[in-house]
Structure 1
Amino acid sequence: MANSDMCNSVGASPGAIQAPPLPAFQPRSCFACRRRKVRCDRQSPCMSCTRNITDCVFPAPGRATRHGSTSAQTPKRKQAHLLSRLQRLESVVEILAAQVKGPAESGTLELDGAGLVGQGIGKEGRGSALDDKTARLGEELGLLVIDENGSVYIGNQFWAAFRDEINQIKQVFDNDDRQGDIYSAETSSLNGSIPSDLTRQRREDSLLFLFWQSRGQDVPLKDLHAFPSQLPIIWQIYIENVDHYSKMLHVPTFAKRIQDLQGDFSRMTPGMEALMFAITMSAINSMSNEDVKIKLHAEKSDLVARYRTGTEIALTLADFINTTELDVIQAFSIFLDTVQTMESPKYVWSVAGLLARVAVSAGLHRDGSNFPGMSPFNIEMRRRLWWNILFIDGRSGSDQIAEASLHEEMFDTKLPTNVNDTDLDPSMKVPPITRNAITDTTPILVRSEL
């Protein structure tokens, strides 16, 4: 009773200062949820903090200031920002809807506690006994979004980000009549305030930091190309000295692409241009000094330096870090496979890690047979590329930290089928049949066992 009287007397004293009670519903997320990047229900305390036994502290009432601006976002700019984000979500949904067909064959899209989870492994042709690795990969299988620009692998984490994007847009409308703030990256608004040429130039300059030889070079890329008359020689040397061992490309298809250019390099896409430079650099590097002088009438070291610069600039222009194009990833792989004789093992190992992550972002670590709609030809080409990347990564990491290299638990991509290039065609509808003989693909199969 005494304690009760004391509390009452303190509460009743005119000089006492009491903090105003927190409202049941807060206009903004609590600090803990913001730090952990999870959704906050904005109750006091919120469910997330209650579940994790964490102090739930909310920002003080009032609108938080944004960097570079002290005024509230104008309604017109706010609407434009929301429209941009909604259009982006709409485009993603349309692409995914086109990819996810035939749930009985390709798996299902189902809701669980974490959001949408894509399941795409079919049961047929997989055998009755699945090992632990395949089972784990099956549980974690995402979706492969394919369009004319390449493929993007979407893992389960994507759905959490997708859900958060929708929730953030919803919160904008929920907070419209209250003092609040939107904690999101306003990429659309920011990019709109920076000239596109400047944005592109900054990105290109930032990517060149990996390529020491090309930094400070101010040479137009068109001036670095080989002469059209030299292309047949360089291409044949690449087939004999490089492709025979790596089998990364489909020779008939790429030969036709070269012929279709008719010597006009301006018709190449950025990806093909990077691939052409990488092929040229690799072919010349595989030659002896005498052969280069006889066939190309120049010093080998000069030509290798020239085409390395061209490859690095072309890869940068093709935005190789953010790419999902097979041409660009093939070019990056050929480049790294070539510079291993020129650079330190540490450099090659570090850049090989970047190459591996670019490949994973394109879904190369998942066998194409898991994804409906992918042609047998593309499945084989992706397998060839992935196993070349594995070889590059494994070789570069042999004297580095083995635990940091790619290992079996990270992928389920099958070995390429033991066939010749003539057994493959972009229009083929059924998978090729394995040959019981030495084929064009045999060298890469042998390398995979080393």
Structure 2
Amino acid sequence: MDGDPHLQPDPSGPTSPAKSPARRRRPPLSCTICRRRKLKCDRALPCGQCLKSKTPDQCVYVGHQPPRSDARRGENTPSERARASATTTRASPAHGGLYVFDSKHQQSAANKITKPKARSDELHELRNRVQFLEAALSKTGPIHTPESLGYDAPSEAAGRAVAPEAQNLTVDVKELSSRSCFRGKKSRTRYCGRCHSAVTLAFFDDVSVFMRGQRSSLKRNPDYKNFKSFKGEMWARERQDHQRAFRNKSWNLEEMVPPRHVADELVNLYLSTFEMTYRILHVPTFLEQYEAYWTASGPRDRCFVAKLLALMAASSCFLSPTAKIDGREKLHDAAAEWIAGVRSWIALTLVSSTIDFNILQIECLILIARQADAIDGDIVWISSGSLIRIAMTMGLHRSPYRFHKMTKFWAEMRRRLWATIVELDLQSSIDKGMPPNIDLEEFDCEAPSNLDDSQLTEDMTDDPVPKDLGNFTRSTFQVLLHQTLPLRVHIAKAINTLKFTLCYDEALRLSEEINQSMQEGAGIFHRMGTAMSAPVGEDPSFAQSMLVFLMRRSLLVLNRPFALSILRTP
């Protein structure tokens, strides 16, 4: 036995050699998520950092547990055993996803580290945890977390995840999602999705309290009642006059075209702005048709007239709202009539035999005009879904070369228009807070190429050579934006889906990808401006600003639910 090298001599004996004791690594006290992110952990379960990042189910404590002998285990006092039991309970989730929430979560940062509790305090804390578990198990279904909740406002999810702390929230906060997402009564109701602006406004308590106070005080004022009744009568009269005027109109599209100097300005505005972003037209062909329209003496092509009116209505937003046509009619009012006239013409002519590429172009221009001029822009998502289905009826969602008689020119035009339609649907879905109408797996149409319109002719037989992204064309913006389409569609669906399952770590990863894509795209446009590689009359500044705007919009949509949830974290 004395010669066995595995047996260690008693350190208290006289023959023990004098050597320094082995240093043991200090066991980690923070949870695994806080250690990985290098954040300060409050050692609760789940900790405050994991609650803020919406990952309470990942809050796990892993520490070094040295083996203990039976003799050492027998020496533990009841107080030590209770403390060990509490630590074990805190470091592991309960069955079924139930978590025992630490009562220290509500304490301030100064009280995070406290002296050891007395035995009575520990028993009181354990009793509270048992009561919470009994209450949770008595409810139907598991306790929801922010990731699994399907509610419309993240604040409600955060409030329900921490059930004991939710008792401190007011009833108004619990019903916040109902007030912001579900509106109306009886037959007139409206629903707003998670990324709708109404959800954001509902988190400003001061505004809602002020408005409720104002309404409650004004309801007792007779002048307010009379004014409200008068406002209703005026709105009803205006709506009737509007319907009567449009119902009795003949909608002669040719008579609605403004003088040429006004049309020239609006066409040039459109070609230098929206046509740099949403590729709808083949510019050389359109300009030929435009010139022929003004020089022709006979009847004009109604399809081109509708396209021209929709185009001018879209670009009218860049002029002053008080601008007038020859000092008479306001341009904004004229644009509203152009949109109504073109939509009426489409409704009268849209049958199966008339669905063609021109109809799709006009529908795209009308969608842009309605959003730019704020004319029924809040329900554009309905029209974009219809546009998607018209395009799919024509097969734009499939690869152009699946049509055996497809030419090179029309193949590229179809790719451009399909990318525009999908982008318009994505933006309208974000406006309404709804999921996009199309899934990425439902189409195999290729991405558009970075080609100048001068490289495309209807009689071409060979595929044109796309330009490098460093060379600016009217399609550069669309090519850059289309590269991020899968990422932005994924964000829109993850945020606006009924069941919100996006975790904070995934949101951070998506944010990094969006930022990287935005910086790369902005850098390409910046180098173009420095090298002056853009053709004369084609300023890339609008396309660059539009790219940054759309990318930042997706970034805000992605992070807004988490930001609003943190505001409601107890």
Normalised to the residue count of structure 2, the TM-score between the two structures is 0.39
Normalised to the residue count of structure 1, the TM-score between the two structures is 0.48
- Relative CO higher for 1 or 2, CA cutoff 8 Å, sep ≥ 6? 2
User: Which structure has more helix as a fraction of its residues?
Assistant: 2
Which protein has the larger Cα radius of gyration, Structure 1 or Structure 2? 2
